Amino acid sequence: MKTRHKLIFGNCMEMNEISDSSIHLIVTSPPYYNAPFDYDGLFSNYEQYLGVLNHVAKESFRVLSEGRIVALNIDDMLVNGTKYPIVADATKIFQDAGFRYRDRIIWKKPDGYLRISKRSGVILQNPFPMYFYPDNLLESIVIFQKGKFDYRSISKEIRELSKIDKKEFQNNNWHKTLWEMTNVLPGSTLEKNVAAFPEQLPYRIIKLYSYVGETVLDPFLGSGTTMKVARLLKRNSVGIEIIRDLEKIIRMKIGFYTSSDIFNNEDHLEIIERKTGKYKFVTLEYIEKKKSKENK
Ligand X SMILES: C[S@@+](CC[C@H](N)C(=O)[O-])C[C@H]1O[C@@H](n2cnc3c(N)ncnc32)[C@H](O)[C@@H]1O
For residues 93 and 57, is the Cβ–Cβ distance under 8 A?
A: yes
* Whole-number Å distance between alpha carbons of 87 and 194: 20
Per CB under 6 A, which region of 5-13, 16-24, 115-123, 170-178 contacts ligand X?
5-13
DSSP string of 55-108? HHHHHHHHHEEEEEEEEEEE--EEETTEEE-HHHHHHHHHHHTTPEEEEEEEEE
CB 10 within 8 A of CB 53: no
Q: Which helix (H) or strand (E) holds 6?
A: strand 4-9
Under the binding rule (CB under 6 A), the answer on residue 29 touching ligand X is yes
Q: Minimum distance between the CB of residue 55 and ligand X, rounded to whole angstroms?
A: 8
Tell me the residue nearest to ligand X as measured from the CB. 222
| Helices and strands, counts by H and E, the chain | 9, 11
Count CB atoms within 10 A of the CB of residue 287: 19
Among 5, 6, 7, 11, binds ligand X (CB under 6 A): 11
- Which DSSP helix (H) or strand (E) runs through 122? helix 118-125
How many residues comprise the chain? 296
Give the binding range for ligand X (CB under 6 A) out of 84-92, 101-109, 156-164, 235-243: 235-243
Residue 216 in contact with residue 204, Cβ under 8 Å? no
Closer CB to ligand X, 143 or 243, in the complex = 243
Q: Are 219 and 196 in contact (CB under 8 A)?
A: no
Residue 217 within binding range of ligand X, rule CB under 6 A? no
Which of 195, 252 has the CB closer to ligand X?
195
Residue from 7, 15, 52, 97 binding ligand X (CB under 6 A) = 52
Select from 8-16, 62-70, 89-97, 148-156 the region that touches ligand X (CB under 6 A): 8-16
Task: For residue 204, give the amino acid letter.
Answer: R
Query: What residues numbered 155-214 form the site for ligand X, per CB under 6 A?
Result: 194-197
Q: Which of 25, 31, 145, 162 binds ligand X (CB under 6 A)?
A: 31
From 3, 6, 7, 13, residue interacting with ligand X (rule: CB under 6 A): 13
239 to 258: interface string for ligand X, x by CB under 6 A: -xxxx---------------
Long-range contacts at 151-155 (CB < 8 A, ≥ 24 apart): 154/211
Instruction: Tell whether residue 222 is a contact of ligand X (CB under 6 A).
Output: yes
| Residues numbered 79-108 forming contacts with ligand X, rule: CB under 6 A | none
- Taking the least distance from each CB to ligand X, the nearer of 100 and 289 is 289
Angle (deg, nearest 10), helices 200-209 and 225-232: 50
Rank residues 241 and 267 by Cβ distance to ligand X and give the closer one.
241
Binding residue for ligand X (CB under 6 A) from 7, 12, 71, 97?
A: 12
Q: Does 237 bind ligand X (CB under 6 A)?
A: no
**Residues at the site binding ligand X, with contacts judged by CB under 6 A:** 11-13, 29-31, 52, 194-197, 220, 222-223, 225, 240-243
